[in-house]
Amino acid sequence: MESLTQPISIGALIDGRYRLTRYIDGGGMGKVYEAVDTRLGDKAVAVKLLQQNLNVDDRLFEQLRRRFEQEAQLCALLGGQHGIIAVSDYGLDGPQPYLVMEYLGAAPRGRSLKELVSAEGPLSPERTVRLAVQICESLQYAHGVRTHLGGRQITGVVHRDIKPSNIFVIDRALVGETTKVLDFGIAKAVSDVTIAMGTNMGFVGTCDYASPEQLRGEELDARSDIYSLGIVLYQMLTGQLPLQPKTHSFAGWYQAHNHESPVPLPRLAVGQAIPPRVAAVVMACLEKEPARRPASMQELSQRLQDELLKAAPAPVAPEREAPPPASDEALGAALAAAWPVLRERMERWRSQALDRLEKLPGRIRLGVGLLAAALALKTGRRKCDD
């Protein structure tokens, strides 16, 4: 059995197949490397070496290996669809558990939400909701999954470690920004193994985003992920966390998540207005009592979209352009064009008037006749002026 502490160096071949080419970064549960799959023409992959070595006696090793494999199989089963990262392989390199997943650093290069918010600052409510809807879709799928695995009946998978570094945003040329959720089930795999090894330190994951019930060590359901996503959404909109613990220790976070009120979402975050009703949905995710949060990812997604739509200003009708003031030349041209019609009408009125005049008594006929003669005289003069 290999040594526990042996450092893994760049160039090392994991399980005789994956050559590590670059160290990317490490979190609470492992270290992530860029690597090539030597069996598939050096295709780029990401290899995650999990924190703990299963360096125990043979009987326990076998037990732990089985447990790790079950969780890894679940990751592989969920991944590659509905915006969840594809896990292509898993195994043990000696006592060291590892997972192989698609590499998100190649073009179109993905960036974690953590990188995105620290590079660009708070995101607009529209962009936040657009990304949130996709994240909700991934989590809704996982929460509703029903399958059999290694004799176990699986009814829904809770992520347990939703945080900005586990959500990637990939900017695709034709469809725009799409999200990928990473590290499904890793928290469960690691915590199961540490419990079995008797090295359980209690909580496995990132306290900043953990739900109150998760920190209390209770059974979790979908609503725990809703709480964690609420903290992520709050951070996307403001760049801040809603809770400020006295110390960044487990005890500090336990107290904050369980007993302290989150800072209400400000109406204005770095110069942008956050619609109050969108803010209210995010705050509802942060309720201490799971029953008071949105009941599912589907509901959360719908409420965010509805409230954003209601907050959108009513579309302004395009103003009709006032016609430009007519010039003297234009007026003259319009009159000249209309003159033949006008003249024809006047001729018709004159002959109708003469017809009626025939039927009138003598004196009246004389007066009207004089009037008609004057009109004819005027029309004739206008005719000459044309």
Ligand X SMILES: Nc1ncnc2c1ncn2[C@@H]1O[C@H](COP(=O)(O)OP(=O)(O)O)[C@@H](O)[C@H]1O
Q: Which residues bind ligand X (CB under 6 A)?
A: 24-28, 30, 32, 46, 101, 103-105, 112, 165-166, 182-183
**Nearest CB to Mg ion, comparing residues 101 and 297:** 101
**Nearest CB to Mg ion, comparing residues 102 and 183:** 183
**Residue 220 tokens, joined:** 């979790």
Residue 150 touches which of ligand X, Mg ion, none (CB < 5 to 8 A by kind)?
Answer: none
- CA–CA distance, 23 with 89 (Å, rounded to integer): 19
- CA–CA distance, 233 with 280 (Å, rounded to integer): 12
Residue 255 touches which of ligand X, Mg ion, none (CB < 5 to 8 A by kind)?
Answer: none
- Residue 25 Cβ vs Mg ion, minimum distance, rounded to whole Å: 9
**Nearest CB to Mg ion, comparing residues 209 and 290:** 209
Question: Is the distance from CB of 136 to CB of 301 less than 8 angstroms?
Answer: yes
| Catalytic-labelled residue, pool 161, 183, 192, 225 | 161
Q: Name the residue whose CB lies closest to ligand X.
A: 27
- Residue 74 Cβ vs ligand X, minimum distance, rounded to whole Å: 17
Q: Is 385 a catalytic residue?
A: no
Give, as ranges, the residues between 155 and 174 that touch Mg ion (CB under 5 A). Answer: 166
- Residue type at 220 in one-letter notation: L
**Nearest CB to ligand X, comparing residues 24 and 154:** 24
Residue 233 touches which of ligand X, Mg ion, none (CB < 5 to 8 A by kind)?
Answer: none
Residue 46 touches which of ligand X, Mg ion, none (CB < 5 to 8 A by kind)?
Answer: ligand X
Residues 6+ apart with CB under 8 A from 380: none
- CA–CA distance, 366 with 368 (Å, rounded to integer): 6
- Residue 166 Cβ vs Mg ion, minimum distance, rounded to whole Å: 4
**Residue 232 tokens, joined:** 């992520």
Residue 49 touches which of Mg ion, ligand X, none (CB < 5 to 8 A by kind)?
Answer: none
Residue 21 touches which of ligand X, Mg ion, none (CB < 5 to 8 A by kind)?
Answer: none
**Nearest CB to Mg ion, comparing residues 24 and 284:** 24
Beta-bridge partner residues of 112: 168
102 in contact with Mg ion (CB under 5 A)? no
235 in contact with Mg ion (CB under 5 A)? no
- Residue 165 Cβ vs Mg ion, minimum distance, rounded to whole Å: 5
- Residue 6 Cβ vs ligand X, minimum distance, rounded to whole Å: 19
Q: Residue 325: is the preceding peptide bond cis (ω within 30°)?
A: no
Measured in whole angstroms, how far is the alpha carbon of residue 236 from the centre of its chain?
10
Residue with tokens 């609470």: 28
**Nearest CB to Mg ion, comparing residues 31 and 82:** 31
- CA–CA distance, 155 with 97 (Å, rounded to integer): 25
Q: What angle do CA 79, 212, 224 make, to 5 degrees?
A: 30
35: left (phi over 0), alpha (psi -120 to 50) or beta: beta
Residue 125, CA atoms < 13 Å, CB-side half-sphere: 26
- CA–CA distance, 53 with 19 (Å, rounded to integer): 19
- Tell me which residues are annotated as active site: 161
Q: Which residues bind Mg ion (CB under 5 A)?
A: 166, 183
